[in-house]
């Protein structure tokens, strides 16, 4: 456990922020919507940042990263985490609800970050010269 805290401090801190934002009981105020589906853009942004941080810290900790392992850590983990959060919101809270579109937005954010990370890693590879 301490190994992961030592190796992924920024990512794990961000995950804790996402957990808090996903489960805190929001105050009873009228909903402010900047534009339709603004909350979905926020979901995509949060999971984009989460995945990007995981890619960055994975790359920092592994000089020659195994891409399969990187995809599991930096892409699959945020996607599964997002699904678990939506499930728990639906079935374990009375003030939050799970939403398939939120899950899709989470997955979209993680996908975009992963595609960009792979492009950047390929561009940095000495084999690509």
pLDDT for res 62: 85
Which tens digit of pLDDT belongs to each residue from 42-94? Answer: 999 999 999 999 999 999 998 776 888 999 999 999 999 999 999 999 999 99
Closest CA to 78 of 37, 122, 114: 114
Q: Are 49 and 18 in contact (CB under 8 A)?
A: no
Q: Tokens 């990007």 correspond to what residue?
A: 52
- Say what the alpha-carbon torsion angle 55, 85, 112, 61 is, to the nearest 10 degrees: 0
Q: Are 113 and 120 in contact (CB under 8 A)?
A: no
Ramachandran area for residue 37 (φ above 0: left; ψ -120 to 50: alpha; else beta): left
Whether residue 129 is predicted with pLDDT greater than 80 in this model: the reply is no
- Which of 4-18, 21-35, 111-125 is predicted most confidently? 4-18
Q: Tokens 């399969």 correspond to what residue?
A: 68
């Amino acid at each position: 456990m301490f190994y992961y805290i030592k190796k992924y401090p920024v990512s794990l801190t961000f995950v804790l922020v996402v957990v808090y934002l996903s489960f805190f009981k929001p105050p009873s105020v009228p909903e402010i919507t900047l534009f339709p589906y603004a909350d979905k853009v926020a979901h995509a942004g949060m999971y984009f940042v989460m995945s990007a941080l995981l890619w960055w810290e994975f790359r920092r900790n592994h000089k020659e990263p195994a891409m399969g392992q990187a995809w599991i850590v930096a892409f699959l983990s945020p996607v599964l985490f997002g699904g678990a959060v939506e499930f728990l919101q639906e079935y374990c809270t009375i003030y939050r609800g799970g939403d398939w579109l939120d899950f899709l937005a989470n997955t979209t954010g993680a996908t975009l970050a992963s595609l960009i990370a792979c492009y950047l890693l390929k561009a940095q590879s000495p084999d690509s010269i």
